[in-house]
Amino acid sequence: MDFLNALILLSNFVIVPSITYGSQLALGAIGVTLIYGILRFANFAYGDLMAFGTMCVILFTWLLKSWGVNLGIFPTALLALPFGITLTIIVSLFFDKTVFEYYRNKKSSPVTFIVVSLGIMFVLNAVVRIIIGPNDIVFMDGSRFIISAVDFKEATGLLEGLTIKSTQVITIITTSLTCFLLFNFLNKTKTGKSMRAYSNNEDLALLSGIDPNKIILITWIIASILATIAGTLYGLDKSFKPFTYFNNLLPIFAATIVGGIGNPLGAFYGGFVIAFSEIALTYAYKKFIFYLLPFSSDSTNLIQYISTDYKFAISFAILVVVLIFKPQGIFKGKVI
């Protein structure tokens, strides 16, 4: 019984949140890694692209709600998602045409691309704040819980109640579906394979007659879709605040590098590595241990590895370790 209680406690506060957060990071990291693999630069504007996509989804959610449209127990945002994605794709392609294309043709250095992406970061940052403001926005509607603690306790008679929020389930399902489609696309279709080929060996791809413009176009489209989905899922799960989205860029970069930059499957795993370490290392295990130990311990010290304040610091620390020992990422060799 106590063992079950402990397990449920762990699943409530570590396992389920890690999978959810990991999914959100994974989607973002795949987007960053694809851009890196194809366009060959680290896109610092990606966090703000996520914010932009989410903002569009929120605006459409409000519009749909004002028309009285909703999805019942599901959040209306899911219905608004395609519209948000479309707008985000348009914005990405706009910046590619007006900004990145010029430097691509000039064959500028990766550093120039980074600097230019900073410019776009500033612009998107401003656009989002001007349109929707800098404040916290909650746009989750529909039912809140799939399993609520009270019901669970009543049903099972356990001390700990299993809580699963609907946003967590939505995140996990959406991520699985998106990744399934994406990896099928990359592995099974001709276009997807040509993207991988271009990312692996640009010169030979050109010699094989692969059209770089088409590849780049598709990359921006996929990256925008991923940014919008990841941002929306994060916003549904927590809330939308432009500054948080900028900050999320940091663990996303960490996940990307941990997985081996340019490697989509690595980025996927990287997201979960980062999420699990962030959450598992900052969780206070006091109650968990209380259930498992035969005697009651009266320790006032929280049994917590590192304080929650250092959540972000953990992902950075992992990143630094990876950079020093395995700069090619820990999933090198397992390409897609």
Partner 1 sequence: MNNIDAKTSFTIMGFLLLIVGILQSWGVAFSILNLCLISAIMSMGVNIQWGFAGLINFGVMGFLAIGGLATVLISVPPVVESWSAGGLGILLSLIFLILIIYACLFINKRYSKYKYKYHLIFAIIILTIPVLKLISGPSIKLIESINPAAQGYLGGLGLPIIFSWFVGGLLSAALAFVIGKICLGLRSDYLAISTLLISGIIVSVIKHEEWLSRGVKNVIGLKRPAPYEVDLQNSEWFINLIEIIHFWSPTTKGIIISSSGIFVKICFSVIFLITLLILLYLSERAVNSPWGRMMRAIRDNETAAKAMGKNIVKQQLNIFMIGSAIIGFAGAMLVTYDGLFTPSSYQPLRYTFLIWVMVLLGGSGNNYGAILGGFVVWFIWIESAPIALFLINIFTFFLENENIFKIHLIESVPYFRYLMMGVGLLLVMRYKPEGLLPEKKIKF
Partner 2 sequence: MFFKANNLSGGYGEVKVIENCNFNVNRGEIVSILGPNGAGKSSAMKAMLGMLKLESGTVVLDEKDISNFNTQDRIKLGISFVPQVNNIFTELTVNENLEMGAFTSSDDIKDKIEEMYDLFPAIKEKKYQFAGELSGGQRQQVAIARALMNNPSILMLDEPTAGVSPVVMQEIFEHIIQIKEKNIAILMVEQNANQALKISDRGYILVTGQNAYHGTGQELLNDPEIRKTFLGG
Rounded CA separation 216/99 (Å): 14
Q: Which of 33, 194, 219, 315 binds partner 2 (CB under 8 A)?
A: 194
Rounded CA separation 30/327 (Å): 18
Indicate whether 218 belongs to the interface with partner 2 (CB under 8 A): no
- Residue 164 sits at φ, ψ, to 5 deg, of -130, 115
Q: Which of 13, 198, 220, 253 binds partner 1 (CB under 8 A)?
A: 253
Question: Which of 22, 329 has the CB closer to partner 1?
Answer: 329
Indicate whether 129 belongs to the interface with partner 1 (CB under 8 A): yes
- The single residue listed with the structure tokens 């370490």 is 277
Q: Which stretch binds partner 2 (CB under 8 A): 52-60, 129-137, 169-177, 208-216?
A: 208-216
Question: Which of 82, 110 has the CB closer to partner 1?
Answer: 110
134 CB neighbour count, 10 Å cutoff: 11
| Helix-strand-coil split of the chain, %, nearest 5 | 75, 5, 25
- The single residue listed with the structure tokens 């890690």 is 18
Indicate whether 325 belongs to the interface with partner 1 (CB under 8 A): yes
Binding to partner 1, residues 221-250 (CB under 8 A): 243, 246, 250
All residues at 6 or more sequence positions from 321 whose CB lies less than 8 Å from its CB, including other chains:
none
Question: Which of 246, 268 has the CB closer to partner 1?
Answer: 246
Smallest distance from the beta carbon of 18 to partner 2, in angstroms? 29
Q: Which of 143, 200, 247, 307 binds partner 2 (CB under 8 A)?
A: 200
Radius of gyration (C-alpha) of the chain in whole angstroms: 21
Question: Would you say how long the chain is, in residues?
Answer: 336
Q: Which amino acid is at 108?
A: S
Residue 304 DSSP class: -
Q: Which of 102, 176, 206, 297 binds partner 1 (CB under 8 A)?
A: 102
Q: Which of 208, 247, 307, 308 binds partner 2 (CB under 8 A)?
A: 208
Smallest distance from the beta carbon of 316 to partner 1, in angstroms? 4
Smallest distance from the beta carbon of 213 to partner 2, in angstroms? 11
Q: Which of 19, 179, 210, 252 binds partner 2 (CB under 8 A)?
A: 210
202, 233, 236, 242: which is closest to 219 by C-alpha?
A: 202
For binding to partner 2 (CB under 8 A), which residues are involved?
A: 190, 193-194, 196-197, 199-201, 203-211, 335-336
